[in-house]
Amino acid sequence: MTTEQSETNGKRTLVLLGISALFVAAGLAYGVYYVLVLSKLAETDNAYVGGNLVTLSSQVTGNVQEIRADETQQVTAGSEVVKLDPVDADLALAQAEARLGSTVRQQRERYAGVEQYEAAIVQRKLALKTAQDDLARRQPLASDHTVSGEEIEHARQAVDNARAALEVAVKQADAARAGLLGVNLASHPLVMAARADYVQAWLAVRRNALLAPVSGYVAKRNVQVGSRVTPGTALLSIVPLDQVWVDANFKESELRDIRVGQSAVITADMYGDKIEFHGKVLGLSAGTGSAFSLLPAQNATGNWIKVVQRLPVRIALDPKELLSHPLRVGLSTIVKVDVSEKNGAALGAAVPAPVRYATKTLSQPMQAAEAKADAIVARNLAK
């Protein structure tokens, strides 16, 4: 072997040793990075933004007269979004008012009838006493034939007739009092039922204006002007974008170290890697996605292939970051959960459930409706 070949082999050996050392160093660096960083992170790109789709539906039947918000537009809680034609509701309210007044007057007549029956009892008692006195005057005169026996018999029949008439009057008074005993006119069940019907009709008039239950953006508008809607019909959806979260679908082999309360970093494809969202693990779903699917997989079959399952993990987001960079429902995200802290619970603790979502737009001023009903009752009670 020549000197030149020896030098060439030496250089080749040095290069190979350098490359080997470089690979070893890279492997060691990756091992250190894995131990210090990657082993403390659970990452998935199977994650999507979720949110509430609040459905606006009608509580009454009617024809749509106005639509005051369209898709992509923002509405505030309590603002009127859809208005129904109020004619039918106004007529129903007028009829309910008339029925309430008529019911009060009918009950006034029944209460007055009781007094009439009581006066009839007094009259029948006087008639009975008169008949008894006539009989008592005639009986002593029968012994000397001053009064005929037939006249005495007629007097006895008059007493019996008066007594029977008194019994009839007493029973009629009892029957009249049975439906009125223990309650005054304004508290009678028939009056209260008619009063409730009036309040219901009054509420139906107000419910012709459909208010936004929450603040958010209109989506999935199905209603059109002139449409006939019924209670429960979904008219449109409102999405409150300040109440969104991320559902990260981790593989079952990645769930070992995930705990409630762990911090997470989320990047959305919409904004790229430069914008990061910070959140916390709210909880893990009670079942995998396939378990809750419409047609769950039937694994008890002959041709079975194991498929890695994924479990939804819900991540809460920082409201301030959402205000600066709003997300939309359904957007793709990448989630990295810091699993180094394992003190949290694998399942959420059993605590009394607080009110997470609420709206005041469905509340109605019942006191005003009841005051109007009481005014109608008082007006028809006035003499």
Instruction: Determine the pLDDT at residue 307.
Output: 82
Cβ atoms of 334 and 43 closer than 8 Å:
yes
What is the C-alpha end-to-end distance of the chain, expressed in Å? 137
Helical packing angle, 366-381 and 87-138, nearest 10°? 40
Question: What is the average pLDDT score of the chain?
Answer: 83
Instruction: Determine the pLDDT at residue 53.
Output: 92
Instruction: Determine the pLDDT at residue 358.
Output: 83
Split at pLDDT 50, 70, 90, the class of 5 is low
Tens digits of residue pLDDT in 58-68: 999 999 999 99
Tens digits of residue pLDDT in 304-341: 778 888 999 999 999 999 999 999 999 999 999 988 88
DSSP 325: S
Instruction: Determine the pLDDT at residue 75.
Output: 94
**47-to-115, 223, 250, 268, 317 alpha-carbon distances in Å:** 79, 32, 8, 9, 13
Cβ atoms of 264 and 281 closer than 8 Å:
yes
Instruction: Determine the pLDDT at residue 267.
Output: 94
Could you tell me the pTM of the whole model?
Answer: 0.72
Instruction: Determine the pLDDT at residue 183.
Output: 72
Q: Which residues face 211 on adjacent strands?
A: 80
Cβ atoms of 56 and 84 closer than 8 Å:
no
Q: Which of left, alpha, beta for 13 (phi over 0: left; psi -120 to 50: alpha)?
A: alpha
**Minimal CA–CA distance to 67: which of 181, 221, 217, 179?**
221
N residues, the chain: 383
What would the two tokens of residue 319 be? 């409201």
**Minimal CA–CA distance to 43: which of 251, 233, 186?**
251
Q: Looking at the predicted structure, is the pLDDT value of residue 57 above 70?
A: yes
Cβ atoms of 215 and 76 closer than 8 Å:
yes
Split at pLDDT 50, 70, 90, the class of 256 is confident
Split at pLDDT 50, 70, 90, the class of 361 is confident
Q: 130 CB contacts (<8 Å, ≥6 apart)? A: 162
Evaluate whether the domain defined by 89-203 bears CATH number 2.60.40: no
Q: Higher pLDDT residue, 236 or 112?
A: 236
User: Measured between alpha carbons, how far is 240 from 211 in angstroms, rounded to an integer?
Assistant: 15
User: Measured between alpha carbons, how far is 20 from 44 in angstroms, rounded to an integer?
Assistant: 33
Instruction: Determine the pLDDT at residue 118.
Output: 73
User: Measured between alpha carbons, how far is 62 from 89 in angstroms, rounded to an integer?
Assistant: 8
Split at pLDDT 50, 70, 90, the class of 38 is low
Instruction: Determine the pLDDT at residue 20.
Output: 78
**Minimal CA–CA distance to 321: which of 383, 241, 260?**
241
Tens digits of residue pLDDT in 155-208: 678 777 778 877 777 776 666 666 666 678 787 888 889 999 999 999 999 999
Sorted by where each begins, the domain ranges of the chain are 89-203
Split at pLDDT 50, 70, 90, the class of 253 is confident
DSSP 253: G
Q: Which of 30-34, 220-224, 372-376 has the lowest mean pLDDT?
A: 30-34
Instruction: Determine the pLDDT at residue 146.
Output: 62
What is 341-376 written as a DSSP string?
A: ---S-SS----PPP-----STT---HHHHHHHHHHH
What would the two tokens of residue 262 be? 């762990």
